[in-house]
Amino acid sequence: MIRTLRATRVSAAVGLALLGALPAFAASQAQAQAQAPAAAAPGHRTAKGVGVITEIDAAQSMVTLRHEPIPALGWPTMVMPFRVTPPGLLTGLKVGQKVAFETREAEGLPEITAIHKR
Ligand SMILES: [Cu+2]
C-alpha cells in the first residue's frame, strides 16, 4: 500500500513537471513555424541531401537529381525530379554540377527549398 502511494506521488510529480514544461515547448514550436518558409505545411518532413544535377527544366521549375541516400526520409540513392520553390533557386545551376539541397515532402513531387553548388 505504501509503495502504491509513493508510485502515485512520483507519477503525479512527473506529470506536473511535464505540464510546467509545456508552455516553453509550445513557444519553441511556434517560433520554429514562424521561421519556416511561408508555405511549409505541418507534418511534411524536411531533409538535407547531396546529389548531381542530371536535368533542369526551368520552364516547369523542375530539377532532376541523382541524389545520395537520405536516411531521414528513408530514400536510397536514386535519380528523381523535384519541384523547385521558389523557381529562382535554379539560377546559375547547370547539369553535371554537384549540389547540396534541402527538400520537403509535398503533395505530388517533393520540393527543393534550398540548393547550391558544392
Ligand atoms: Cu529520391
Contacts of 6 (CB under 8 A, 6+ apart): none
- Residue in 102, 103, 99 with CA at minimum distance from that of residue 118: 99
Q: State pLDDT tens for residues 56-100.
A: 999 999 999 999 999 999 999 999 999 999 999 999 999 999 999
| CA torsion through residues 56, 58, 60, 61, sign | positive
CA–centroid distance, residue 105 to ligand 1 (Å): 11
Distance from the CA of 42 to the center of ligand 1, in angstroms? Answer: 21
Euclidean distance between CA atoms 81 and 84, whole angstroms? 10
Residue 82's Cβ-count burial label (10 Å; 0-12, 13-18, 19+) is buried
Distance 36 CA to ligand 1 centre (A): 22
Cα of 40 from ligand 1 centre, angstroms: 20
CA of 56 to the centre of ligand 1 (A): 16
pTM: 0.63
